[in-house]
Amino acid sequence: IAGSAEEIEIFLAELDSTVSSRWTVEGHYDLRTQDVNDLYLLLKEKAIERVIFLARHAEFEKVAAAVEACELQGVEAWISASFIRTQIARPTFDVLGSKPMLVLRSTPELSWELLCKELMDRVGATLILLMSIPFWIFAYVGIRITSPHAPVFFSQMRAGRYGSPFRMWKFRTMNPDAEKELDAVKQSVGNQMDGPVFKLDSDPRIFPFGSLLRKLSIDELPQLLNVIKGEMSLVGPRPLPLYEIDAITNVAHRRRLSVKPGITCTWQAGGRNKITSFDEWVKLDLEYIDHWCLLKDIKILLKPVPAVL
């Protein structure tokens, strides 16, 4: 182990016993007081499998020479990154060009599971779209009859992954001037949700047939096109309008933008769509991100369709 006596003592004390019990410490090497030749000699005299460097950033120049000594003799070099304190991010290692990089990820790492999720999104959305054609016809005809003086579809710019804007589609369920009437509705009726997000179950802007579409979750079906285009996922945090994203004051809440938004999310599929706290909403989204696995998405998608949408 390379480091000062104090650093080594703290490191060994904090090390999990199940890990430390598998190791035998063969020697100590102090970067501050010893020459790299001392390390060469230590590696030559003893059967060393790996060297653990407990280095401060000011000692990186010395670490480079010591790592080279390990490299030339085929010995693993493990470098502590304790000079960086993280709360959520998981450290991984990658190479950018020829440069070794320490990567701190707070989202799922690219893996076969993520590739399967991408495939499941595209194939699943296509199959659901084909099977739901009768519902598309039902919605199209119903909107044309009950609200003939406005488009059948409603589109709005929403925040995608990392906040990248995209145009999200829905069947229109509100009056043509609904967006212009938003401020008046907030003043006269209020808002069920605290924070920057507007949510109102009995929104007066919704026309009767639109209310039926929402109750049956048919209004969300056009978002399958967003999934096929790669802008959304079948499961993920719900995409918010750009103006609501701009109104977010807690920077930690923006981490929900680190994955693709979804047609459904864990709290919707779990029957918790009566949430009125934006903090609780974000908490559930972040729990989904932090503990994501493909099986979790599959379980959500196997729930009854009204619950999912």
CATH assignment at residue 63: 3.40.50
Helix H or strand E segment including 53 = strand 50-53
Q: What is the DSSP string of 247-280?
A: T---GGGGGGGGS--EEE-HHHHTT-TT---HHH
- Please state the domain count of the chain: 2
For 181-194, what is the mean pLDDT? 87
Is the pLDDT assigned to residue 287 strictly greater than 80?
yes
Angle between helix axes 112-131 and 133-146 (nearest 10 degrees) is 60
- Looking at residue 308, its pLDDT comes to 47
Lowest mean pLDDT among 86-95, 181-190, 197-206: 86-95
Is the pLDDT assigned to residue 103 strictly greater than 90?
no
Is the pLDDT assigned to residue 90 strictly greater than 60?
yes
What percent of the chain has pLDDT above 70? Answer: 91
List the helix and strand counts (H, then E) for the chain.
14, 8
Q: Residue 10 — pLDDT band, cuts 50, 70, 90?
A: confident
Is the pLDDT assigned to residue 119 strictly greater than 70?
yes
Dihedral sign, Cα of residue 51, residue 57, residue 58, residue 64: positive
Question: Is residue 92 in a domain?
Answer: no
Buried b (16+ CB within 10 A) or exposed e, 6-40: ebbeebeeeeeeeeeeeeeeeeebebeebebeebe
Residues 156 and 287 reside in one and the same domain? yes
Residues 149 and 56 reside in one and the same domain? no
Residues 150 and 270 reside in one and the same domain? yes
Q: Could you tell me which residues come within 8 angstroms of residue 194 by beta carbon, excluding any fewer than 6 positions away?
A: 276, 277, 278, 279
Gyration radius of the chain over CA positions: 27
Lowest mean pLDDT among 90-99, 101-110, 133-142, 194-203: 101-110
205-236 confidence digits (pLDDT tens): 999 999 999 999 999 999 999 999 999 999 99
Backbone angles phi and psi of 88, in degrees to 5: -125, -40
Is the pLDDT assigned to residue 127 strictly greater than 90?
yes
Q: Residue 1 — pLDDT band, cuts 50, 70, 90?
A: confident
Mean pLDDT of the chain: 86
* Entry pTM: 0.76
Give residue 42's Cα distance to chain centre: 45
The residue segments making up the domain with residue 46 are 5-83
Q: How far apart are CA 183 and CA 201, in angstroms?
A: 16
Question: Is residue 237 in a domain?
Answer: yes
Q: Residue 34 — pLDDT band, cuts 50, 70, 90?
A: confident
Q: Is the CB of residue 1 less than 8 Å from the CB of residue 51?
A: yes
Q: How far apart are CA 149 and CA 147, in angstroms?
A: 6
Residues 143 and 287 reside in one and the same domain? yes
Is the pLDDT assigned to residue 80 strictly greater than 50?
yes
Question: Is residue 91 in a domain?
Answer: no
Residues 75 and 165 reside in one and the same domain? no
Question: Is residue 103 in a domain?
Answer: no
